[in-house]
Amino acid sequence: MDDVITLGKRALAEHGPHSPPLFILGHSMGGLVGLHAAQRASLGELPGFRGAVLSAPALKSDRKSTSAFAIKIGKFLSAWFPKTAVAFLPM
């Protein structure tokens, strides 16, 4: 995370007072790194930080909040249809 914060500070220094807003972008394991860096940045370590764009961050789901049925269906689908995307957006 130190490298992400350092890179952000360097980018802000190069652009001076008219720097555009700073966003962190991360995918997969980079999404996890981006999430931790965004937490640090939001605590004031990175002035100018405005947000994070995370694509499929490597996060572990909470088994307690996932039903046994949903886990079984997920395992079945991943075994029989490995390239089929399943998306659920709670409303």
pLDDT in tens, 67-82: 888 888 888 888 888 7
Q: What angle do CA 55, 35, 17 make, to 5 degrees?
A: 100
Share of the chain above pLDDT 90, in %: 25
Closest CA to 52 of 90, 1, 86: 1
Say which amino acid occupies 90: P
For residue 7, report the phi and psi dihedrals to the nearest 5 degrees.
-65, -40
Say which amino acid occupies 45: E
Q: What is the rounded average pLDDT of the residues 11-36?
A: 89
DSSP state of 64: G
- What is the pTM (predicted TM-score) of this model? 0.62
Supply the mean pLDDT for the chain. Answer: 84
Say which amino acid occupies 72: K
In the predicted structure, residue 89 carries a pLDDT above the cut 60: no
Share of the chain above pLDDT 70, in %: 91
**What's the maximum distance between 2 C-alpha atoms anywhere in the chain?**
55
